[in-house]
Amino acid sequence: MSADGFIQVKDLDLVYMKEGKPFPVIKGLNVNIAKGEFAVLVGPSDSGKTCLLRLIAGFEDPTSGEIFVDGKSVKGPDPSRGYVFQDMVLFPWMTVHQNASFGPKSRGLSEKEVKEVTKKWLDKVGLTKFQEKYLHELSGGMQQRVGFARVMANDPEVLLCDDPLGQLDWVSRETLSNEVLQVWHETGRTVVYVTQAIEEAVYLAQKIYIFAPRPGKIAQILEVKLPEKRWEDKDLRFKKEYYHYVEQLREIITEQASKSKEPVEKGPCSP
Amino acid sequence: MTNVIEATKLKKLFRPDDPSRLLAIDGFDFEMKEGEFVTLIGPTGCGKTTFLRIVAGFEDIQGGQILFKGKPVEAPDAKRGVIFQDIRLFPWMTVRDNILFGVKSRGIKAEEQKQKLKETMELMQLDNEALNMYPDRLSTGMRQRIGVARVLANSPDIILLDEPLNSLDWVTRDYIQTTFLKLWHETKKPILFVTHNIPEAVFVAQKVVVMTARPGKTKSVVNVDLPERRWELRRDNDHYLDLVKTTSRLVEDELSKAREVEKVVGY
Amino acid sequence: MNEIRNRALRAALPHILIWATVAIITLLPDIQAVAIETKVPILAFLVGASVFMTLLLGIGATKIFKKLSITRVLNFYDICSIFLTIVFVWELLANKFPVLDPMIFTCPTRVFQALVVKAPILLDSAISSMFLLVCGYFLGIIVGIVTGIVVGWFKVLFRVVYPVAKLIAPIPPVVYIPFALVLLPSVMYAAIFIIALGAFWPTFANVCFATHNVDRRVIEAAKMLGAKTGTILRRVILPSVLPELFAGIFIGLILAFIMLEVAEMVGASSGLGFYILSQRLLNHYDVVAAIIVVVGILVVICTVVFDYVEARALKWKVRLGA
């Protein structure tokens, strides 16, 4: 395969046991993601993209194969691989501030450091005024900002995002997509992002990795050659060059999906 | 042509027993003719889902009038089929029973039931394997197809869609959009589609109604003069992108008027 | 307009009942002659209640305290109406018409009299009982919470312990009383033990089960953010099972009260349970009724305190319809 990446996945297999029968989810997956890349994973439903993300995060162990991040093998969850969940999975008994500072605190940083880094990230996501509020008092978009802030407060090397904007309304999605891009651009971290919305995939990605139907592997890689600072062009979303990629992606996914029957049962990594 | 839905000066409170509380909808007028495919969009909390629920008969109103085919809406009915965002299949019933639930409840004969099942299965591309399964085991995309199937099996007079494609994968979303476009093209059944996805709203409809921020009123109507065989249209079409832009600007403009609203207890 | 008529009715009802009760007590002849002085406590109570409730209504109407709205006052009124109806009917049937045996179903007048006369002993017994309750209850729930979290967390423990616990839990702690009395140094310790056991099981079961079922993704999120097991148990698992925990310790509270009364009736020489027993043997049913009222009041107080603590602990939870 191609040159060594920052994130390397080698011959990955994931087989679940469901009611005594083996249920293969991922088979022979190989992928290399470069340092600082914004990689987006798309594909038919339950084709293993969320599973792959969870494997990179270390929440699950593969049946066979290996995953390396920055040369080190993945052996369990770690603050260096931050994960943003699809339905946020925040701690509702804590205030916004407590949620955001949980990571730094747990890692044993000094009180001063905890305060500083929490303030920095809450400011960046625009939640300073809402620090003492409880989560149920915030809108979905604001809650997900907390989701990002708490992960970024740990200064991760890799940011893993499982369709984080999927529950939000369209305009919030557009706003937050821009914010995600800006944070990525500023920090230069590697991002692996799963989404169902092809418009969003094209808008965010440098490279789109398209999955084949379950059991999954990467079927195709689509490079998106749009300007780097995409948030600066307010009309980019309505431009033909952007939608040209959207149409291309649409065709690829539809073609991939038609290769096998749509899986009827839901996959094991669905929430 | 008569109006299939007519709403005049609709008013609805979030908490009817406490008049000092928030208005969900205030003075909302809406007209929809037979055979139209209309999408309803607007900023979060503008009342679009509330309005759909009023048309469906799930909510009562505190002012104004809501007519369906000339008669006031009193309660939910098989004639106004609803497809929900959270799907809401009956988990204790198999797929077959879910699809036939409405039909059975209305006492349709067994022969006809079988026919309906066959038709809807073909339409939603379900095969026999799924029929005896229980909803919990199925993927979200599959579940929503069944959600659509059970409504279509009931032959409704109007189909009301409440953000049905939100959490679906692209392939299922595309498929259901195409199914409704083709269905509408053949039968010209009126369809009211509530969504917050602006490109989608423009892609499926003939008319896009944009609502103001809460309490919602009609802000403006965008006529979508794209070909009728919409499912054949490529999305990098200039006119389509132009319409998406216009509609987006309208919604964004409305959002800038409403401050960043904290989550409202309600819907 | 219907709404206003409804509210007026609800507001008037308790007062109507109060004064109707006053009327029948003072005007109707008694079946078993009751001295005037005996009637004083209940009359004083009823009149006082009427004044107090009118005051509440006034506060509610003028909106002096935000938390005390008319709606809340009327809800309180509804509860009072139920009790007052019971008192009214009871008085009628026990002392004014020969329906209920006046010996056993002592009329409210006598019960109130007993409450006043026996007040010192009642207070003493109440304190004795509450002491046992508090010791036993907190012992039971603390052990229940800690063991619940530990067994729920460690999969091996859960697999082994939980099925066994499910089998043993339904055994009523009362059957252990003979052993408790023999093995523990005194009756007091035995009573505390039985009460603790009553509070322990529902707490343990709820906390254990809830811990076992915590959304795995919440734990994943905590691990991903860098938390170690200790932090996870304290700052993530425990808060996250609080709703089920409170459900469990509430049942534990009810059981603790039951165990308390049983324990006192079986072995103690003080406390409300013991007092009920002794008075019953003397056929003083009016005092028995008075003791029941006292127990009822204690339970209500405990429940109100419990609800308050629960509401504060769970203030982060969205309540539908709140």
Cross-chain residue pair B169–A139, CB shorter than 8 Å: no
To the nearest whole Å, the CA of C223 is away from the closest chain A CA by 6
A223 and A37 Cβ atoms separated by less than 8 Å? no
- Is residue C114, in this structure, part of any structural domain at all? no
In this structure, are C302 and C189 located in the same domain?
Answer: yes
Residues C47/C52/C53/C58 CA torsion (nearest 10 deg): 130
Q: Which band of pLDDT confidence, cut at 50, 70 and 90, is reported for residue B149? A: very high
CA dist., res. A205 & res. B228, Å (int): 33
- The DSSP element (H or E) to which B11 belongs, if any, is strand B3-13
Q: Which residue has the tokens 């309180």?
A: C76
Distance CA B26, CA A73 (A): 59
Q: Are strands B191-194 and B158-162 parallel, antiparallel or unpaired?
A: parallel
Which of B86, B134, B139 to substitute to test the interface with A, most A CBs within 10 Å?
A: B139
Domain that holds residue C38: 2-103
Q: How far apart are CA A23 and CA A17, in angstroms?
A: 6
For residues C202 and C81, state if they share a domain. no
> Is C312 among the domain residues?
yes
Whether C120 has its CB under 8 Å from any CB of chain A: the answer is no
Q: What is the pLDDT of residue B260?
A: 47
Under the banding of pLDDT at 50, 70 and 90, the label for residue B263 is very low
The whole-number pLDDT of residue A159 equals 96
Q: What pLDDT is attached to residue C319?
A: 60
Q: Does the ipTM surpass 0.95? A: no
Residue A155, chain C, CB below 8 Å: the answer is no
- Are the Cβ atoms of A83 and C236 closer than 8 angstroms? no
Strand-pair partners of B63: B11
User: Is the separation of the CB atoms in C108 and C91 below 8 Å?
Assistant: yes
Tell me: do C168 and C302 sit in the same domain. Answer: yes
- The answer to whether residues C144 and C260 belong to one domain is yes
- Do C153 and C276 reside in the same domain of the chain? yes
Q: Which pLDDT belongs to residue B1?
A: 61
- Going by C-alpha positions, the residue among B20, B1, B32 that lies closest to residue B206 is B32
DSSP type of residue C186: S
In a domain, C156, yes or no: yes
- How many domains are contained in chain C? 2
What's the pLDDT at A19? 78
Look at the block and give the residue holding tokens 């809501």: B66
Cα B211 from Cα C199, distance rounded (Å): 56
Among candidate residues C68, C103, C138, the one where a domain is terminated: C103
* Residue A239 in tokens: 């431009």
How close does chain C come to A182, measured CA to CA in Å?
A: 22
Judged by a CB distance cut-off of 8 A, whether residue C309 touches chain A is no
Residue B217 CA neighbour count, 13 Å, CB half: 5
Q: Please spell the DSSP secondary structure of chain A, one letter per residue.
A: --S--SEEEEEEEEEEEETTEEEEEEEEEEEEE-TT-EEEEE-STTSSHHHHHHHHHTSS--SEEEEEETTEEP-S--TTEEEE-TT----TTSBHHHHHHHHHHHTT--HHHHHHHHHHHHHHTT-GGGTT-BGGGS-HHHHHHHHHHHHHTT--SEEEEESTTTTS-HHHHHHHHHHHHHHHHHH--EEEEE-S-HHHHHHH-SEEEEEPSSSB-EEEEEE----S-GGG-TTGGGSHHHHHHHHHHHHHHHHHHHTSPPP-BPPTT--
Rounded average pLDDT over A163-168: 90
Domain endpoint, select from C56, C71, C103: C103
Round to whole Å and give the CA distance between C45 and B121. Answer: 72
Does the CA dihedral C134-C137-C140-C143 come out positive or negative? negative
Residue C113 lies in a domain: no
Sign of CA dihedral A143, A144, A145, A146: positive
**What does the alpha-carbon distance between residue C205 and residue A217 come to, in Å, rounded to a whole number?**
44
The residue from C75, C103, C131 where one domain ends is C103
Residue A18 has pLDDT above 90, yes or no: no
CA angle A53, A56, A58 (to 5 degrees): 110
Whether residue C250 lies inside any domain: the answer is yes
Show Cβ contacts of residue C9 under 8 Å, excluding neighbours closer than 6 positions: none
Q: Which residue in A33, A23, A135, A53 sits closest to A90, CA to CA?
A: A135
Asked whether the beta carbons of residue C316 and residue A102 sit closer than 8 angstroms, the reply is: no
Residue length of chain C: 322
Specify the DSSP class assigned to residue C172.
-
Task: Tokens 């509702």: give the residue.
Answer: A92
pLDDT computed for residue A4 by the predictor: 66
CB contact under 8 A, A102 and C225: yes
C-chain residues within 8 Å CB-CB of A81?
A: 224
C315 touches chain A (CB under 8 A): yes
CA-based nearest distance A259→chain C, Å: 33
Confidence of residue A172 (pLDDT cuts 50, 70, 90): confident
Per-residue pLDDT of chain C (322 residues; tens, 9 = 90+): 677 888 888 888 999 999 998 888 888 877 777 777 788 888 899 999 999 999 888 888 887 777 777 888 888 899 999 999 998 988 888 877 777 777 778 888 888 888 988 899 899 989 999 999 999 999 999 999 999 999 999 999 999 998 898 888 888 888 888 888 889 888 889 999 999 999 999 999 999 999 999 998 999 999 999 898 988 998 999 999 999 999 999 999 999 999 998 888 877 778 888 888 888 888 888 888 899 999 999 999 999 999 999 999 998 887 644 3
Q: What is the CATH number of the domain that holds C225?
A: 1.10.3720.10
C164, part of any domain:
yes
How far apart are the C-alpha atoms of C282 and C290, rounded to whole Å? Answer: 14
For residue C246, what are its two tokens? 């409170």
C73 and C15 Cβ atoms separated by less than 8 Å: no
Task: From B59, B26, B20, B56, select the one nearest B216 (Cα to Cα).
Answer: B26
C54 and C81 within one domain: yes
Spatial contact of A222 and A252, defined as CB atoms under 8 Å apart: yes
If asked whether residues C282 and C189 sit together in one domain, one would say yes
Residue holding tokens 């490079």? Answer: A223
**Residues C24 and C69 both lie in one domain:** yes
Give the Å distances, CA to CA, from B64 to B14, B31, B60, B178. 16, 14, 11, 36
B225 vs B205: CA distance, rounded Å: 9
What is the per-residue DSSP string for C49-71? HHHHHHHHHHHHHHT-STTS-HH
For residue C238, tell me if it sits in a domain. Answer: yes
Q: Looking at A252-266, B175-189, C13-27, which range is the least confident one?
A: A252-266
Q: Given phi > 0 = left and psi -120 to 50 = alpha, else beta, which region is C188?
A: alpha
Residues A199 and A253: beta-carbon distance below 8 Å: no
Residues C131, C84: one domain?
Answer: no
Q: Are C172 and C229 members of one domain?
A: yes
- pLDDT > 50? residue B267: no
**Are residues C254 and C153 part of one domain?**
yes
Q: Is C111 within a domain? A: no
Q: At B16, is the pLDDT very low, low, confident or very high (cuts 50, 70, 90)?
A: low
Q: What are the angstrom distances between the C-alpha of A91 and each of A147, A256, B247?
A: 10, 38, 37
Please report all neighbours of A, defined by 3+ CB atom pairs within 8 A: B, C
Give the C-alpha distances (Å, rounded to integers) separating B88 from B83, B146, B164, C177.
9, 10, 11, 51
* Pair C150, C293 in one domain: yes
Nearest Cα residue in chain A from C316? A93
Q: Decide if A79 and C226 are in contact by the 8 Å CB cutoff.
A: yes
Q: Is the pLDDT of residue A244 over 80?
A: yes
- Dist. CA A201–CA A191, nearest whole Å: 12
Question: What separation, in Å, do the N-terminal and C-terminal C-alpha atoms of chain C show?
Answer: 25
Mark yes or no for CB contact A170/B139 under 8 Å: no
CA distance C42 to C21: 10
